[in-house]
Amino acid sequence: MTKAAAIYARVSSDRQKENHTIASQLAALTEYAGAHGYLVPAAWRFQDEGYSGATLLRPGLEALRDLAAAGRLEAVLIYSPDRLSRKYAYQVLLAGELSRCGVELVFLQAPSGTTPEDQLLAQFQGMIAEYERAQIAERSRRGKRHCARQGSINVLSGAPYGYRYVRKSDTAAAYYEVMESEAGVVRRVYQAYTQPGLSINAIARLLKEEHIPTRTGTTRWERSTVWGLLRNPAYGGRACYGKTELRPRQRITRPLRKRQGLASRDSANHEQPRQDWIEIAVPALISEETFALAQEQLEQNKRHSPRRTIEPSLLQGMLVCERCGYALYRCSTRTSARKLSYYRCLGSDAYRHLQGAVCDHPPVRQDHLDAVVWKELLRLLEDPSMIQEELNRRREAARQADPRKQREEILRRDHARLEKSMDRLLSAYQEGQVSLDQLRSRMPELRKQQQAVQAELQSLEAAAADDTQCLRLVRTLADFCAQLRLRADTLEVAERQKILRLLVKEIRVGRDTLTIRHSIRIPNAGPDPNGTIRPPHAPQPQPTPQPGPGYLLRSGRHQSPVSQSVSALCL
């Protein structure tokens, strides 16, 4: 009689992956299953590549445990106990969990030395303590993740600035209540950062000068506090669980070196990938568009922050070497007559790399390259219909994938649930099952939640853009392009920077080509097999066109002109 079984294999290092040890484990387990009458479906072959055995946070192991909890398994085949876990307490925990689910745990190779029973007796006190701690921590982690997937606020425990955390009661779950005094400060911070473009330091200084209190009651606003407000997704209506993880410290700082490398606590918060966060619906203080605009601005500031730049340049933070992928920075040299500035590839500096220079890309004259890029940008904005077509395309795409619709459906379901709870409470009072004091204590909390849901629904309706706003935006852009053509030659470098960074993602500089990646799709440009959208004047596979205009961007007799090839990518 065959048994339904699953296979689990694990390797923890890149060297083991290169040596194909996980393939050998799977081969040995498959052979064992066939020889002993185990039926292993292809979907039940779980493996974790590059995961340590000292942790239980492994995708393959999580899927195996979920399958066992569903009652579909009879046995699990593993090559050796250390492939299941490096910690004996975790081995006991997982073996006990699988045993309670009626799953037999089979190892191809028994542990060397004594049996698990002998090890348990020899290390009884310490092992039981370690087992209990691991069991409590693991149950708590899995329980919190389950509650977070159900939309429970309890796993978040506290509330960020702008909210008040209301604990759960006998009749209502925990929820976030908006504190208008703090919510107004949050909206002001986002408005100052996204519209006037104030820096984080300027916003902190402004709040401090106006003596606005923080959550702790002080009037000292740190830059890190404002930075945290701008990055918190709860203000957009989606609080997230699992944003950070406690892991051992990755570097030894100077204070740790003074303590001989020993930290007071052997862990530190590390941000998890965005796809691993679990979203929980909360009342929104700002629109999703405003929050997305703030995140975009934060990302741009990482690349375009002036830092210690004394004299700005037009293409600062936007140039990428097409050959090695390193950025280009500005350097200068002085001749007997004047000072010349160049853009130089970081990969061409031998002192920056252990094995010497990794790129032989020659420097490019700054003034020539700035003039070429600015000329191409003006040529791109000559046709207002192209901008209008791009706006219509993006508007249609946003309409088809509008996250506000999903959020509105969730809010309407919550509103119906609260109304039903209030009706049930009134019916129970009329039937004498609930006293008047109980009714008075439970009804206000339900009404507060209902008001919060209604307020968020109204904000979503107000944030919806109509056709008249889009038409006004098109007219404004047309007027802007007309004024730009008149003042193109008199604009300062800082003003040109703002316009360029709104439209251009990056500029790739090759030895003989210059590729500008911008956010406006050029009409009649079909995608090539690699996914690049080629403009009409760009080289096509067949027939071969004439080369485009050439620009002499490098001095020297043997340097060839850089011909311009503009690739438009929809970003």
pLDDT in tens, 241-262: 888 877 666 565 666 555 555 5
Confidence of residue 263 (pLDDT cuts 50, 70, 90): low
How far apart CA 360 and CA 382 sit, in angstroms, is 37
Cβ–Cβ under 8 Å, residues 567 and 534: yes
**Is residue 215 domain-shared with residue 140, that is, in the same domain?**
no
CB 285 within 8 A of CB 233: no
Residue 470 belongs to some domain of the structure = no
Residues 23 and 138 in one domain: yes
The answer to whether the CB of 47 falls within 8 A of the CB of 58 is: no
Q: Apex CA 376: angle with CA 375 and CA 381, to 5°?
A: 100
DSSP track, 499-510: HHHHHEEEEEE-
Answer whether residue 42 is part of any domain.
Answer: yes
Is 210 found in the same domain as 115?
no
pTM: 0.54
Asked if residues 171 and 428 have their Cβ atoms less than 8 Å apart, the reply is no
Q: How many domains does the chain have?
A: 3
Same domain, 232 and 168: yes
How far apart, in whole angstroms, are the C-alpha atoms of residue 232 and residue 295?
A: 10
The tens digit of pLDDT for each residue in 371-406 reads 888 888 888 777 767 767 777 776 666 666 555 666
515 - beta bridge partners?
508
Amino acid type, 559: Q
Domain carrying residue 69: 3-149
| Same domain, yes or no: 196 and 105 | no
Q: Is residue 112 part of a domain?
A: yes
**Same-domain check for residues 280 and 362:** no
In 349-437, which ranges are E strands? Answer: 364-365
The secondary structure of the chain in percent helix, strand, coil, rounded to multiples of 5, reads 50, 15, 35
Q: Tell me the per-residue pLDDT of 124-159, one tens digit each, with 9 for 90 and over.
A: 544 655 666 677 778 888 888 888 888 888 888 788
Amino acid (1-letter code) at residue 145 = R
**Domain CATH number, residue 62:** 3.40.50.1390
More confident residue, 250 or 419: 419
Which residues 6+ apart lie within 8 Å of 431 measured at CB? none
Q: Determine, yes or no, domain membership for 517.
A: yes
Reference 365, options 328, 312, 322, 337; nearest CA is 328
* Alpha carbons 218 and 358: distance in angstroms, whole number: 51
CB crowding 495-533: b at 16 or more within 10 Å, else e = ebbebbbeebebbbbeeebbbbbbebbbeebeeeeeeee
